[in-house]
Amino acid sequence: MFGIDARTARVVWTAALVLASLYCVYLMRTTLLVMLIAVLFSYLIYPLFTLAQRWIGGRIPRTPLLCLVYLVVVALVALAVGLFGNQVAEQATALAHQLPTLLDPATLERRLPLPGLLEPLRARLVGFLRDLLQGGSAQAMPFVRNVGFGLMHLAGNLIYVVVVPILSFLMILQAPVFDELLVTMHHRRNGAFWTDVLHGLNTVLSSYVRALALLSLATLLAYGLVLSLMGVPFALLLAGFAAVLEVIPVLGPLVAAAAIAGVALFSGYEHVGWVIAFIGAYRVFQDYMLNPYLMSEGVDVPPILVVFGLLAGEELAGISGIFLSVPFLAALRMVAVQVRQHKAKIAETSSPG
| Contact present, 269 and 297 (Cβ < 8 Å) | no
**In terms of domains, do 218 and 168 share one?**
no
Question: What three-state secondary structure class fits 81?
Answer: helix
Residues 81-97: what's their mean pLDDT?
A: 84
Question: Is residue 204 located within the same domain as residue 273?
Answer: yes
**Domain assignment present for 32:** yes
Residues 210 and 254 in one domain: yes
Half-sphere exposure of 291 (CA within 13 A, CB side): 16
Residues 6+ apart with CB under 8 A from 52: 65, 68, 69
pLDDT grade, residue 47 (50/70/90)? confident
Give the per-residue pLDDT at 144.
47
State percent of the chain over pLDDT 90: 14
- Residues contacting residue 133 through CB under 8 Å, at least 6 positions apart: 103, 105, 108
Residue 51 has pLDDT above 50, yes or no: yes
Q: Are residues 306 and 331 in the same domain?
A: yes
Task: Let me know if residue 8 belongs to a domain.
Answer: no
Residue 344 has pLDDT above 60, yes or no: yes
Q: Is the pLDDT of residue 247 over 70?
A: yes
- Residue 212's identity, in one-letter code, is L
The answer on 223 and 162 residing in a single domain is no
244 shares its domain with 270: yes
Residue 41 predicted with pLDDT over 50 = yes
Assess whether 340 and 194 both reside in one domain: yes
Which carries the bigger pLDDT value, residue 331 or residue 137? 331
Q: Indicate if the pLDDT at residue 122 is higher than 80.
A: no
Decide if pLDDT at 292 tops 80. no
| pLDDT at residue 305 in the model | 79
Please count the other Cβ atoms lying within 10 Å of the Cβ belonging to residue 23.
Answer: 10
Please indicate, yes or no, if residue 290 is contained in any of the structural domains.
yes
Q: Is residue 107 assigned to a domain? A: yes
User: Is 338 found in the same domain as 198?
Assistant: yes
Domain final residue pick, 173, 200, 233: 173
Q: Residue 250: give the domain boundaries.
A: 190-346
More confident residue, 134 or 341: 341
- Among 67-76, 190-199, 268-277, 344-353, which stretch is predicted with the lowest mean pLDDT? 344-353
Q: Are residues 218 and 247 in the same domain?
A: yes
Could you tell me if 51 and 210 are in contact, meaning their C-beta atoms sit under 8 angstroms apart?
no
Helix (H, G, I), strand (E, B) or coil at 121: helix
Q: Tell me which H or E stretch contains 105.
A: none
213 and 310 share a domain?
yes
Does a structural domain hold residue 273? Answer: yes
Q: Which of 105-111's residues contact partners 24+ apart within 8 Å by CB, and which partners? A: 105/129, 105/130, 105/133, 105/134, 108/133, 108/266, 111/266, 111/267, 111/268
Number of residues that this document lists for the chain: 353
Residue 277: pLDDT band (50, 70, 90) is: very high
Which band of pLDDT confidence, cut at 50, 70 and 90, is reported for residue 102?
Answer: low
User: DSSP 3-state assignment of 352?
Assistant: coil
Reduced to 3 states (helix: H, G, I; strand: E, B; else coil), residue 33 is helix
Residue 1 within any structural domain of the chain: no
d(CA 68, CA 143): 43
Which of 173, 201, 233 is the last residue in one of the domains? 173
Domains in the chain: how many in total?
2
State the pLDDT at residue 278.
95
- Is the confidence at residue 70, as pLDDT, over 70? yes
Which is more confident, 300 or 56?
56
Asked if residue 180 belongs to a domain, the reply is no
In this predicted structure, the answer to whether residue 149 has a pLDDT above a threshold of 90 is: no
Q: Alpha helix (H) ranges present in the chain?
A: 6-27, 29-56, 62-102, 108-111, 122-156, 160-173, 175-186, 191-230, 235-245, 251-266, 272-285, 291-294, 303-350
248-253: average pLDDT: 83
CB neighbourhood size of 22 (10 A)? 10
Same domain, 113 and 168: yes
> How far apart are the C-alpha atoms of 87 and 81, rounded to whole Å?
10
pLDDT at 2 over 60: no
Cα separation values, 275 from 102, 224, 271, Å: 18, 12, 7
Q: Domain check: are 321 and 231 in the same one?
A: yes
How far is the C-alpha of 225 from the C-alpha of 281, rounded, in Å? 15
Question: Which of the pair, 216 or 179, is modelled with greater confidence?
Answer: 216
More confident residue, 159 or 35: 35
**Is 258 inside a domain boundary?**
yes
Higher pLDDT, 97 or 223: 223
- Distance from C-alpha of 242 to C-alpha of 248, rounded to nearest angstrom: 10
Report yes or no: 70 and 169 within 8 Å, Cβ to Cβ.
yes
pLDDT bin (cut points 50, 70, 90) of residue 132 is: low
Rounded Cα distance between 32 and 24, Å, is 11
Among residues 173, 206, 235, the one where a domain terminates is 173
